[in-house]
Amino acid sequence: MKYVRVIYILVLLGFWSCKETPKTADKTTDYTVVPIEYARGFSIEKSDTGITILKITSPWPNAEKAFTYALVSKEKLPTITLDTDAYDAIIGTPVESIVVTSTTHIPALESLGVLDKLIGFPDTDYISSKRARMLIETGKIKELGSNESLNSEMVLALRPELVVGFSINAENSTYSILEQSHIPVVYNGDWTEESPMGKAEWIKFFAPFFEKEMEADRIFKEIAKEYTDAVAIAKKANTAPTVLSGAMYKDVWYLPGGESWAAQFLRDANANYLWADTPETGSLSLSWEHVLEKGQNSDFWIAPAQFTSYMQMKNASTHYTQFDAFQKKKIYTFSKTKGATGGVLYYELAPQRPDLVLKDLIHILHPEVLPEYEPFFFTPLE
C-alpha cells in the first residue's frame, strides 16, 4: 500500500502544507449532512436538487487547505448552474472511467461493484486483488507509471472522467497538469485517519461518484458490526498479553505510536501494547537498546516490518535473537500474505477490513475465545 511508504517519508522530511483560502459551496440551496461516524478527513452534503458536496478536510497531514467538489448527475448537469469558483472540481455522475493511485482505493471499488470502471493505476504489480489482477492481465487496467509515480502523458491519453489522487503535501505537478487538461483530480486522505473504523469509512467517499451511497452505507455498517462484536469477544479473555511491534531500519527501530491505527487494533484486541501510553499517532523512532530494555520479555511480537522468517531476522541483526518472543517463536507477520505479483495484501485491504485484522489478532493473542477462526492476514514467522 502506497501510503505506508509515504509515512516513512513524512517521518524523515516532516510535513509541508499550503495556505490558501478554502472554497465554500453555494449555500443558496438547502443541503442535508450525510452522517460520517468515525472518519475525520471528509464530509458529504446532499441537496434535493441532486447536488452532492464532497469536502476533503485532511488530504494530507497538517493540511491548511480543504478541497470542495460538486457531484451532479450527468442527466441534471446541463440544467444546473453552479459557481465554478466555489469548487475545486465539478464532476458528473455516475463516473464511467476512473484512475486511482493507491492500493487502498481498490477494495472500495471492488466492494461497490465498480472495479470495471478502473482503467489505470501506477505500478500495477502492487495490486493484490484477484479480480483486479484479471482486469490487468486482460489489458482493461492500464499501467500508468513506475516506482509509484503517475505518468501524466499516459493519463492524458486515457482521458479518465476522474483521477483519485493522494499526496503528502500541496506540491504535485502531475495533478496540476491533469487539472489544466480538464481531468478532475480528487484527493483521498484515507491514510491520514488514525482509527481503524475511520479508515474503513472512506468507502463512503467513493460511493457518490458512482451513485452507490446505499451500498456503501450497508457495507460499512456490516464491517462496523463485525468489528464491535470482535471487541466484545476480546474482552472475554482473562489476560492481556504484552506485545512488541516493529523492527529496525538501519540503526533505528520503528514501531507504532500509542495513538496510532496499529496501536488501536492491539488495544481493541485486549493486549498490553508496551508503548500504548505514548501520544504519537504515527511511528516512534527508538534505539534497539531502548526497545530491548522495555520489550525483551514481551509475550508476542506483532508485525516485524517486512520480515517473514526467523532466519531472515537473525541474518539482518543478531539483536533480534535476544527477545523472548523470538526465542519462543511468538512472532506473527502480515508480510507473507501476498498477491500474485508480490503486493502485500495487508497494505491494500486492511484499511477497509479492520474487522479481519482485529479477529486475526484476537485469535493469535487469545486463541481460547476464537478457537475456530482462520487468520486472514497474519501468519507465524517461518
Higher local confidence (pLDDT), 199 or 167: 199
pLDDT, tens only, 13-59: 332 333 344 454 455 567 789 999 999 999 999 988 889 999 999 99
Report CA dihedral (209, 115, 98, 5) to the nearest 10 degrees. 100
Q: Do 286 and 200 fall within a single domain?
A: no
Q: Do 200 and 250 fall within a single domain?
A: no
Q: Do 217 and 362 fall within a single domain?
A: no
Q: Reduced to 3 states, what is the DSSP secondary structure of residue 51? A: strand
Asked whether the beta carbons of 205 and 186 are under 8 A apart, the reply is no
CATH number at residue 299: 3.40.50.1980
Number of domains in the chain: 2
How far apart CA 244 and CA 100 sit, in angstroms, is 34
Q: Which of 196, 225, 254 is the last residue of a domain?
A: 225
Q: Sort strands 242-245 and 272-273 into parallel, antiparallel or unpaired.
A: parallel
Task: Count other Cβ atoms within 10 Å, centred on residue 357.
Answer: 26
Which residues is 294 bridged to in the sheet?
A: none
Q: Which of 225, 255, 283 is the last residue of a domain?
A: 225
Q: Do 311 and 184 fall within a single domain?
A: no
Q: Do 255 and 146 fall within a single domain?
A: no
Task: Count other Cβ atoms within 10 Å, centred on residue 192.
Answer: 25
Structural domain of 16:
2-225
How far apart CA 246 and CA 335 sit, in angstroms, is 12
State the chain's mean pLDDT as an integer: 90
Q: Do 158 and 219 fall within a single domain?
A: yes
Nearest to 292 by CA among 332, 263, 266, 320: 320
How far apart CA 97 and CA 114 sit, in angstroms, is 10
pLDDT of 16 reads: 30
Question: At 169, phi and psi to the nearest 5?
Answer: -165, -170
pLDDT, tens only, 344-371: 999 999 999 999 999 999 999 999 999 9
Q: Which of 225, 244, 277 is the last residue of a domain?
A: 225
pLDDT, tens only, 110-133: 999 999 999 999 999 999 999 999
Query: Nine-digit cell at 208?
Result: 457518490
251 pLDDT higher than 70: yes
Q: Do 62 and 201 fall within a single domain?
A: yes
pLDDT, tens only, 130-175: 999 999 999 999 999 875 678 999 999 999 999 999 888 777 788 8
This prediction has a pTM of 0.89
Q: Do 51 and 168 fall within a single domain?
A: yes
pLDDT of 4 reads: 41
How far apart CA 301 and CA 311 sit, in angstroms, is 16
pLDDT, tens only, 327-347: 999 999 999 999 999 999 999
Output the CA–CA distances (angstroms, integers) from residue 201 to 196, 212, 219, in the order listed: 9, 14, 9
pLDDT of 349 reads: 97
Q: Do 307 and 187 fall within a single domain?
A: no
